[in-house]
Amino acid sequence: MINIFTRRSAMALAASAAIAVTAGAPVAAADWKPQKPVEMVIMAGQGGGADRLARLFQSIIQKENLSSMPILPVNKGGGSGAEALRYLKDNEGDAHKIMATLNSYYTTPLRTDIGVDITEYTPIARMALDTFVLWVNADSDIQTLDDWVAAVRASGGEWKMGGTGTGQEDSLLTAMLEEEFDLDITYVPFKGGGDVAKNLVGGHIDSTVNNPSEQMGFYNAGKSRPIVAFTPERIAAFPDTPTAGEEGHDIVYWMQRSFVGPKDMPAEAVAYYTAMFEALSETEEWKTYTEEKALMADFLTGDALQAYFLEERAKHADILQIMDEGSS
Amino acid sequence: MDVLALLADGFATSLSPVNLMIVIIGVTAGLFIGAMPGLGSVNGVAIVLPLTFIVPPSSAIILLAAIYYGAMYGGAVSSVLLGIPGASTAVATTFDGRPMAQQGKAGLALIAAAVASFVGGTISVVLFTLFAAPLADLALAFGPAEEFALVLLAFTTFVGLGGDDILKTIVMICLGLVLSTVGLDLISGQPRLIFGDMPGFYSGISFLVLAIGVYGVGEVLHTIETSKSAPAVTPARLTFRELADGLRRMNRLWKTMSIGSFLGFFVGMLPAAGATPASLMAYGIAKTTSREPESFGKGNIEGVAAPETANNAASTGSLLPMLTLGIPGSPTTALLLGGMVMWGLVPGPMLFIEQPDFVWGLISSLYTANFAAVAINLALIPLFVWALRMPFTVLCAMVLVLCIVGGFAPSQKMHDVWLIAGFGIAGYLLRKADYPLAPLVLALVLGPLMEKSFRQTLIAEQGDMMAFVERPLSATFIAIAVLFFLLPLIKVWRARSGKAAISPAE
């Protein structure tokens, strides 16, 4: 009985594998496949943009059968992602752990000595660049960037900007705004972008620089208002919201959404995941999502991605230095 | 406004034969997952999530909700039988559930837990049905200051409950708070208390590791010492007459269960608060309002019913911010949220308007999942109780294995296993010295929440401490907290002066 059973399930497996191949699913160069569920470490807390996106990736992978094993998202957002970075470092050579990154991938190790060197990690794929928008509560009188600057100035340093942690993307962007307009803003850290968005709508903070995906629900319900977009062109989803550049202030800032593996991840595993994400980037779901949520899909892998990481790290080091000079 | 019509449509979906079967499978699986220390609704939902893409979204969410519910019921099983809370929400259930099991009344305790969970779940689903939309605004009114005040209130309820020795309770809370600061600081990202540079401490000390250590290993050590060779757990039997009798006794607990349901629902609804403070507060209120408060902690059935009602009500309540605001209140609801995004549903203020079929299908499935869970749970109680009839020598070894596996599985680090061993020995010694363990464990759960909201408020208000009392909601919570804190002190002072009057020689 047992014999028949295993033979049957083996056949079923072979059959499903064949279907997968003909359906155009990724075929890695080598025959390597994950042997157990793959842990997808997320460098941020639950409910924020990074978290939602990572969970979307997971769902598409499962739905389209892009991985032979389930993908399990794990949030390790503590200390601006230091928890996740450290976790990946402690799992050197592990072929079953991948990490969804944000820009804190560069900034956290630059700001705090947590014994992590990001050049050691294995770059897998960059899926997209996310955009930033300045938001206020829909009940506020602020309509334009100039209104906002005037309101912040009038508050005498008590203007509350919500964000996801000192050194995170939104705090850098806040620092850039402070620098550009010579303002003094109180930055209040929360556990994730979702929490930030909710606190803006609840009136506990005065403005945010959320990603569009984090505010979209409240925006559609008429509870929050976009003021300016920090992009070179207007965002398709908010045709009436000008860019900062149009208002005469050239502030552009992106958030990268990439995946990396731990140091010394086996090459076959890297090939497998790269192919998996490439197939993912071509699915209908992903294409629709990027359009709806105002994301720039920009696929990049391997050495080119590593070069991009290094370039961005240098840029962020400069911004951080300006921040430090500003505060001291 | 025609909520009932919408709900009826929802039932048309959730009562179809396929969906009914899904509910039964989901609840049974959830029950066993929840009953295992170390496994909880998070693991259950994560494993099943991919399977849900082969069925329509409404069936999928029904399956996930059934597992979520089943696991909440199952959590009480290990609290009562083994004295190990499988999740922080079930800590309060051990206070009286464990003593009941030791008195051979494990069956009764489990019946109380099942019925209380059912009542809590049902009342909160009704509240959910009627008030989901307006209540979302209340959740929005909760900022960091209110969050802090609420956690403070939860703390004071158990300073009040410690009862026997307030000083020892406070010492244990402080110790728990110290343990909760281990790891990376949320706001600055700096590592704290990592003992030189031990990487294992970077992610902090998890609730599960501490609870399994002090309750699981500590309890086994303690039992070995006190029982020598005689079994400490009275072999329990459960007949149908006893089951019926147990159900009748639940009739008298209406007051406790109603308070627990309302409290649980409202506290669970607030983002970031959740079921743990709710279950504690319900226990605290049950004890304070009881005619015989001294019997609590020694196997009072009300002490099982109160937290179980509240934690189930809270788990329903926590679905509210997820659906209406898109903010998950717990790891499990975060997974549900992930699933919804995939099915093309956008949680948030528009969901109720744009996707009524889905929302009402889900709500109606909570009713059916509740009925299925209580029926299956009651049917399985004899099996759970039977497990206790195992010889102590066998049970003891099995509990230790469960402890180690349950501690290792979530993070897969040996570091955690060593910590469990250390906490086990420490827990055993603390128990010998009569220190209460629950405040220690709960301080570890609530400490990070309290610290975070406290610092956020102070940053936002430029360091002005008055912020906590100037806002009406947080001021109310703080006032109640002060009252709770003073209550036992007054009692102690009264008892002392009474004693002094009787025997002035002392």
A35 three-state secondary structure: coil
Domain end, chosen from A219, A253, A287, is at A253
Tell me the residue range of the domain where A185 lies. Answer: 133-253
pLDDT (0 to 100) of residue A10: 43
Residues A245 and A276 in one domain: no
- Does the pLDDT value for residue A305 go beyond 60? yes
Q: Which of A221, A253, A285 is the last residue of a domain?
A: A253
Quickly state the pLDDT bin for A31 (edges 50, 70, 90). Answer: confident
* Domain co-membership, A237 together with A180: yes
Q: Are residues A75 and A36 in the same domain?
A: yes
Q: Which of chain B's residues have a Cβ under 8 Å away from the Cβ of A139? A: none
Rounded average pLDDT over B430-459: 87
* Cβ–Cβ below 8 Å for A82 and B203: no
Residue B334 has pLDDT above 80, yes or no: no
Residues of B in Cβ contact (< 8 Å) with A114: 184, 189, 191, 202
Most B CBs within 10 Å, among A58, A200, A207, to test the B interface:
A58
CB atoms within 10 A of CB B455: 18
- Does residue A43 belong to any structural domain of this protein? yes
Q: Per the domain annotation, does A15 fall within a domain?
A: no
Q: Is B207 in contact with B89 (CB distance < 8 Å)?
A: no
Is the CB of residue B259 less than 8 Å from the CB of residue B282? Answer: yes
A8 band by pLDDT with thresholds 50, 70 and 90: very low
- The answer to whether residue B133 neighbours chain A at the CB level (below 8 Å) is no
In this prediction, residue B449 has a pLDDT band, given cuts at 50, 70 and 90, of confident
Q: Are strands A185-189 and A159-163 parallel, antiparallel or unpaired?
A: parallel
Shared domain for A193 and A248, answered yes or no, is yes
What average pLDDT does range B442-451 have in this prediction? 86
Q: Are residues A65 and A150 in the same domain?
A: no
What is the three-class DSSP state of A293? coil
Does A186 sit within 8 Å of B460, measured CB to CB? yes
- Residue after which a domain boundary falls, among A232, A253, A274: A253
Among chain B residues, the shortest Cα distance to A39 is held by B411
Which among A41-55, B152-166, B310-324 has the top mean pLDDT?
A: B310-324
Neighboring chain B residues of A189 at a CB cutoff of 8 Å = 186-187, 456, 459
> What average pLDDT score do residues B299-312 get?
90
Q: Do B271 and A80 touch (CB under 8 A)?
A: no
- B153 to chain A, closest Cα gap in Å: 21
Contact: B47, A70; criterion CB under 8 Å: yes
For position A229, what pLDDT does the model report?
Answer: 95
User: A311-318 contacts: CB < 8 A, separation 24 or more?
Assistant: A312/A103, A312/A106, A312/A256, A313/A106, A313/A110, A313/A118, A316/A103, A316/A106, A316/A107, A316/A110, A316/A172, A317/A106, A317/A110
Is residue A192 situated within a structural domain?
A: yes
Q: What is the mean pLDDT of residues A188-201?
A: 86
Q: Quick one: how many helices (H) and strands (E) in chain B?
A: 23, 2
Domain-embedded: residue A294: yes
| Burial class, B127, CB count within 10 angstroms (exposed 0-12 / middle 13-18 / buried 19+) | buried
Tens-place pLDDT, residues A107-133: 889 888 888 999 999 999 999 998 999
Chain-chain contact of B342 with A63 (C-beta, under 8 angstroms)? yes
Q: Strand A71-75 and strand A224-229: pairing?
A: unpaired
B414 in reach of chain A (CB within 8 A): no
Q: Point out the residue among B202, B327, B460 whose CB comes nearest to the CB of A194.
A: B327
For residue A143, give how far its alpha carbon lies from the nearest alpha carbon of chain B (Å): 23
- Residue B323 with chain A: CB contacts under 8 Å: none
- Report the pLDDT averaged over residues B71-80: 85
Q: How confident is the model at residue A6 (pLDDT cuts 50, 70, 90)?
A: very low
Using the predicted structure, report yes or no on whether residue B133 has a pLDDT greater than 80: no
Chain A residues close to B337, C-beta within 8 Å: 47, 52, 55
Per-residue pLDDT tens over the stretch B28-55: 988 888 887 766 666 677 667 766 767 7
DSSP 8-state code for residue B234: P
Same domain flag for A218 and A297: no
- What was the pLDDT predicted at B500? 52
Q: Smallest Cβ distance to B143: which of A79, A115, A199?
A: A199
Task: List the single residue in B with minimal CA-CA distance to A70.
Answer: B50
Q: Is the pLDDT of residue A4 over 50?
A: no
CB contact residues (below 8 A), chain B span 143-172, against chain A: 143-144
Higher pLDDT, A78 or A274: A274
A to B CB pairs, distance under 8 Å = 155
Of A62, A78, A201, the CB nearest to B140: A201
**Least confident span in B163-167, B235-239, B382-386:** B235-239
Residue A156 domain flag: yes
Among residues A107, A117, A115, A135, the alpha carbon closest in space to that of A256 is found at A107
The larger pLDDT score, comparing residue B88 to residue B161, is at B88
Nearest to A195 among B191, B202, B327 (CB): B327
What is the share, in percent, of chain A residues with pLDDT greater than 70? 89
| pLDDT over 50 at B1, yes or no | no
* Residue B129 CB coordination number (10 Å): 18
Q: Which residue of B has its CA nearest to A109?
A: B189
Same domain, A311 and A241: no
Tell me if A189 and B459 make a contact (CB, 8 A cut-off): yes
Identify whether residues A115 and A137 lie together within a single domain: no
Average confidence (pLDDT) over B280-302: 83
Segment B488-497, tens digit of pLDDT: 677 767 777 7
Q: Is residue A18 part of a domain?
A: no
Nearest CB to B203; choose among A60, A76, A191: A76
Q: Is the pLDDT of residue A68 over 90?
A: no
Taking an 8 Å cut-off on Cβ atoms, the answer to whether A89 and B199 are in contact is yes
Report whether pLDDT(A17) > 70: no
Quick check: B346 and A191 CB within 8 A?
Answer: no
Asked whether residue A143 is domain-assigned, the answer is yes
Q: Which of residues 11-50 of B touch A (CB under 8 A)?
A: 46-47, 49-50
Q: What average pLDDT does this structure show over B190-209? A: 79
Q: Do B459 and A115 touch (CB under 8 A)?
A: no
CATH value at residue A152: 3.40.190.10
In the predicted model, is pLDDT for residue A74 greater than 90? no
Q: Closest Cα to residue B6, out of B446, B358, B256, B295?
A: B358
Q: What is the pLDDT of residue A281?
A: 93
Per-residue pLDDT, B346: 73
Shortest Cα–Cα distance, A61 to chain B (Å): 9
Give residue A72's pLDDT: 83
Minimum Cα–Cα distance from B471: chain A residue: A204
Say which of B190, B199, B335 has its CB closest to residue A112. B190
Question: What is the C-alpha to C-alpha distance for residues A131 and A233, in angstroms, rounded to an integer?
Answer: 11
| Cβ pair B37, B78 in contact under 8 A | yes
For A169, the token pair is: 């993307």
Give the contacts of B141 (CB within 8 A, at least 6 positions apart).
Answer: A202, B473
Nearest to B53 among A52, A62, A195 (CB): A62
Contact B318, B124 (CB under 8 A): no
- Cα separation, B289 vs B259, in Å, equals 11
Structure confidence at residue B236 (pLDDT): 55
What 8-state DSSP symbol labels residue A263?
A: T
pLDDT at B229: 53
Q: Is the pLDDT of residue B243 over 80?
A: no
Does residue A12 fall inside a structural domain? no
Instruction: Report the sign of the C-alpha dihedral through residues B397, B403, B405, B408, in that order.
Output: negative
pLDDT above 90 for B400: no
Average pLDDT over residues A36-54: 82
Calculate the average pLDDT of chain A: 85
What pLDDT, on the 0 to 100 scale, is given for residue B499?
56
Does B241 score more than 50 pLDDT? yes
Mean pLDDT comparison of A196-200, A224-228, B375-379, highest-scoring range: A224-228
Give the pLDDT of residue A327: 57
Same domain, A146 and A248: yes
Count structural domains, chain A: 2
B window 289-348, beta carbon within 8 A of A: 325-328, 331, 334-335, 337-339, 341-342, 346-348
Distances (CA, A) of A55 to A4, A48, A62, A293: 38, 11, 11, 15
Give me the pLDDT at residue A178, please: 92
C-alpha R_g of chain B: 22
- How much is the mean pLDDT over chain B? 81
pLDDT of residue B223: 78
* CA atoms of A295 and A128, how far apart (whole Å): 7
pLDDT of residue A326: 62
Q: Are B373 and B31 in contact (CB under 8 A)?
A: yes
CATH number where A35 lies: 3.40.190.150
Poorest-confidence range of A3-17, A115-129, A218-232?
Answer: A3-17
Q: Is the pLDDT of residue A146 over 90?
A: yes
pLDDT at residue A25, rounded to an integer: 41
A261 and A248 in a common domain: no
Of A99-108, A219-228, B133-142, the poorest mean pLDDT is in B133-142
Is the pLDDT confidence value at B432 over 50?
A: yes
Q: Say whether both A139 and A247 belong to one domain.
A: yes
Provide mean pLDDT across the span A214-226. Answer: 89
Whether the predicted pLDDT of A145 surpasses 90: yes
Q: Determine what percent of chain B is predicted with pLDDT higher than 90.
A: 11
Q: Do residue A203 and residue A269 come from a single domain? A: no
ipTM score for this prediction: 0.74
SS3 of residue B238 by DSSP: coil
A319 contact partners, CB below 8 Å, separation of at least 6: A172, A175, A176
Residue B123 has pLDDT above 90, yes or no: yes
